[in-house]
Amino acid sequence: MDAELLAPQRSVSTPRVGCGYWRRLLPALLLLAGLTRVPSFAHPLWNPDEGYLAVQARLLAHGGELYETVVDRKPPLVPWLYQGAFALTGSDSLVSVRLLAILAHLLTAALLASLARRRWGDTAGRTAGVLYLLISVGLNPEDAQAAGFEVFMLPCTAAAMWCADRRRWAAAGLAVGCAFLAKQTGGAVLLPVLWLCGASWARLLRIGAGAVLPVLAAAVLTDPSGFLFWTVTGSGAYASFTGSELHVLGRALTNTAILTVACAGVLPLLVRARRPAPGDLWLWLAASAGAVALGFHFFGHYYLQLTPPLALLATAALRRLPRPRAMRALITTACCAALFLTWGMLAPRPELSHAERLAAAIGRHTAPHDRILVWGIHPETYWLSDRTPATRYLTAGLLTNYSGGRDGPRVGERYAMKGAWTTLNREFATAPPRLIIDDSRGKPYAPERIRPLRRLLEGYEEVAVVDGAVLHVKAR
């Protein structure tokens, strides 16, 4: 009789303890996620990716079609998120998207906390969530504070590992597919998921089916051939770094050093750890590092993909330390995060200031219904000026291969996306822009190096110069 009375008490008390844990932890994580993203509200835009997504979302809201009249080398999930946020709050501000980014970071932290708690206990859960939020601000502010593709990819990668840890294979595959739809490199989390799966064909089939389902759905909802071209097969030149080796190497070393500073409190612990952490976590980190290197660009925001496995590996190392040493490591990490937050609040944004001045000049020379072409790599000019692009190619990079930051010989019309110049000429013949803005400012894609662009400029005359950007209006 006593045993019968005790059993229900255990089944009721265990969830209550778990609920109490999350009632305390989630508000703390939300507060920390908000505090670490305060600098994101300091500027209307942080990097060209945000500008690109904002312009895409506006075009989609006005009837544009992904991979047809609105194009990018990315999957559709994040443009759809921007479009949904703008539908609720309007497209004049990215505040709604910034709030979504905070929620994405919170969800990632909570999933990591749940993973760590299941493996190592309550304290480890709290540590993992806090470490992720502190480490993930440890990049150049334009990379860490922007609401970019990686921010919305990370909850999906964490969810894939969370589901695999609980042997929910179909759900793990679904999360892998969603990670790919946020950014192609999100699919790298499939490797540690397969590690946890083991050699079971039934499990592999469930993972595969779960991963393929959302990708196929996205292809059908957009355009299957366009989806395949823009997300997989059409970026060969973009992924090459021939002629830009030193430029790329410098960026890789710089961003690696910046993240190393952010992790200064915990990286020595990983190096000196006597017991290796679980293999799936090291594989997750290795797969993420491979994803960062894929394409040889090494932009700072790529490094965000490393932060979830780093947080879990650091948690595994901290739990074996005496409490004073563990606290010192956490305090050091917090101090590093504070330095990066200060950087974010004080860092100037010269390119944003230039884009704002250029947008004001565009407003003076055009009417709201006029279409324009910005020949540059800063699509935010379209968004800031509230003018419609005259082409589906929102940056000169898609027409010259400069969008990857290349400074070598593989920049020019011959390295453009397949058929891009034919399409651009057709767009000009159908509806030529009122204004062409040459914002190349001496870069390798300047008009004097791009013959097709010089031909397009023949019917235009110069009317103004803003910080080196030249405005050309269509001759009457």
- Strand-pairing partners, residue 462, are 472
- What residue segments make up the domains of the chain, in order of their start? 2-346, 350-474
| Cβ atoms within 10 Å of 403's Cβ, excluding its own | 23
Q: Which residues of 220-239 are buried (b: 16+ CB within 10 A; e: fewer)?
A: eebeeebbebbbeebbebbe
**Can you give the pLDDT at residue 1?**
35
Separation of alpha carbons 133 and 34, rounded Å: 10
Separation of alpha carbons 409 and 398, rounded Å: 16
Q: What does pLDDT average to in each consecutive run of 10 residues of the chain (476 residues)? A: 34 54 97 98 95 97 94 96 96 97 98 97 97 98 97 98 98 98 98 94 96 97 95 74 76 96 93 80 97 91 98 94 93 97 93 96 96 96 97 94 70 90 96 97 93 95 96 91
Whether the CB-CB separation of 145 and 39 falls below 8 Å is answered with: yes
Residue 412 tokens, joined: 């020019």
Give the predicted TM-score (pTM) of the model: 0.93
Q: Provide the phi-psi class of 412: left if phi over 0, else alpha when psi is between -120 and 50, else beta.
A: left
Tell me the H-state helices in 294-379.
307-318, 323-346, 350-365
Q: 3-state DSSP helix/strand/coil percent for the chain, to nearest 5? A: 70, 5, 25
**Can you give the pLDDT at residue 13?**
36
The per-residue DSSP string of 59-83 comes to: HHHTT--BTTTB--SS-SHHHHHHH
**Can you give the pLDDT at residue 274?**
65
